[in-house]
Amino acid sequence: MSLDLSVVIPLYNEEESLPELVEWIERVCKEHAISHEVIMIDDGSTDDSWEVVTKLSREFDAVKGIRFQRNYGKSPALHEGFKAAQGNVVITMDADLQDSPDEIPELYNMIVRDGYDLVSGWKKVRYDNAVTKNLPSKLYNGVNRRISGIKLHDMNCGLKSYMRKVVKSIEVYGEMHRFIPVLAKYAGFKKIGEKVVQHRARKYGHSKFGWERFINGFLDLLTIQFISRFGKKPMHFFGLFGTFTFLFGFLFTLSLIYDKIRLGDNFGITNKPAFYLSLTAMILGTLFFLTGFIAELISRSAADRNTYLTEERIGWDK
């Protein structure tokens, strides 16, 4: 029997919030008659989070758990959750209770009823620090909208819903969880929507993310843009730069040789800065070409990079 919904929850040191979160999800899904599973991915927690997940799995048939041997990050956790998800709709949410499970029915209906491929939450009213989180987040999302062309106000919101085909068609690795809408767009999914969702004040613990996520996020966005355009044809990028750079140096060299022939011994080629400029350009052009060839070989024989050490799985034999 197929499931209506998979709720994927990556977590790291969230032992206090998990019981309340699961009970809330169970209550909402039962009220709206949504058959579901709750997949909790423990990203190498150092507290008792896994023991709590194990207890919840025994108490609730819908709860399943995956435990990493060490901390890999949110993207690997989502990757494993997406790979395991069996529901027709997949919803992701954070484990810290800042995302409200009351949003689940509408997010589910926007996929099933309204035909969206992906719906991203927008925490229009936030309870984070205005200087250290809200302001950088607005700048960050503004840059994302400009570069990606996707008009979302809160691309990094953890509360999202997906058609099952979307999560099975994209590869989330590194720290690419911030740009899942971009990955979906380049995978051919065009109907991407947005829903204003409630942002709740953190009840337990503290945030696991710092300022470095904004710098890393910008670099990851550039990576996605490059890979999506040139990942299957890297020679189109490196070869273009190599051609122009090499031609620039070669034409400069021809002009120097012409001047040497015309002016004779009075013209010393090696004394001219243009000689070294043209030589450097030709070398760089050749290196760009070689980089393109090597990238082509790598792209055709890349090994699986999304393999993670899983220590334990629970609830999958129900």
Q: What total number of domains does the chain contain? A: 2
- pLDDT over 80 at 120, yes or no: yes
Lowest-confidence segment of 10-24, 26-40, 44-58, 279-293 by average pLDDT: 279-293
- Distance, CA of 221 to chain centre: 8
Mean residue pLDDT of the chain comes to: 84
Residue 260: the pLDDT is 77
For residue 315, is it within any domain? no
Condensed to tens digits (0 to 9), the pLDDT of residues 247-292 reads 988 888 888 888 778 777 777 777 778 888 888 999 998 998 888 7
Both 142 and 279 in one domain: the answer is no
Sheet holding 36-42, edge to edge: 192-196, 118-122, 160-163, 87-92, 3-11, 36-42, 63-68, 310-314
Classify residue 44 as left (phi > 0), alpha (psi -120 to 50) or beta: left
**For residue 10, pLDDT beyond 90:** yes
Model confidence at 167, in pLDDT bands (50, 70, 90)?
very high
d(CA 114, CA 122): 18
Q: Is the pLDDT of residue 297 over 80?
A: no
Predicted model pTM: 0.73
β-strand partners of 193: 119
pLDDT at 87: 96
What is the pLDDT, as a whole number, of residue 131?
Answer: 54
From 174, 203, 230, give the residue that closes a domain: 230
Buried/exposed code over 69-97 (b: 16+ C-beta within 10 A; e: otherwise): eeebbbbbbbbbbbebbebbbbbbbbbbb
In this structure, are 199 and 95 located in the same domain?
yes
Domain that holds residue 247: 234-300
pLDDT of 259 = 79
**At residue 101, what is the residue type?**
P
Q: Quickly state the pLDDT bin for 3 (edges 50, 70, 90).
A: very high
- Residue identified by tokens 């050490």 is 309
Q: Could you identify the residue written with the tokens 């890297």?
A: 234
101 and 200, same domain (yes or no): yes
> Does residue 313 lie within any of the structural domains?
no
SS3 128: coil
* Residue that terminates a domain, selected from 177, 203, 230: 230
What is the SS3 assignment for 123? coil
Q: Express each pLDDT in 188-203 by its tens digit.
A: 899 999 999 988 766 6
Does residue 150 surpass a pLDDT of 60? yes
* pLDDT(153) > 70: yes
pLDDT confidence bin for 169, thresholds 50/70/90 = very high
Q: Is the pLDDT of residue 12 over 80?
A: yes
Better pLDDT: 231 or 294:
294
Q: Are residues 215 and 259 part of one domain?
A: no
**Is residue 305 scored above 60 in pLDDT?**
no
* CATH number of the structural domain spanning residue 62: 3.90.550.10
- Residues 152 and 266 placed together within one structural domain of the fold: no
Diameter of the chain measured on Cα atoms: 93
pLDDT per residue as tens digits for the range 58-108 = 999 999 999 999 999 899 999 999 999 999 999 999 999 999 999 999 999
Q: Let me know whether 209 and 289 are in one domain.
A: no
Q: Are 220 and 254 in the same domain? A: no
The predicted structure's pLDDT at residue 137 = 66
Report the candidate in 189, 192, 7 with the shortest Cα–Cα distance to residue 82. 7
The answer to whether 111 touches 34, Cβ cutoff 8 Å, is no
208 with 251, same domain: the answer is no
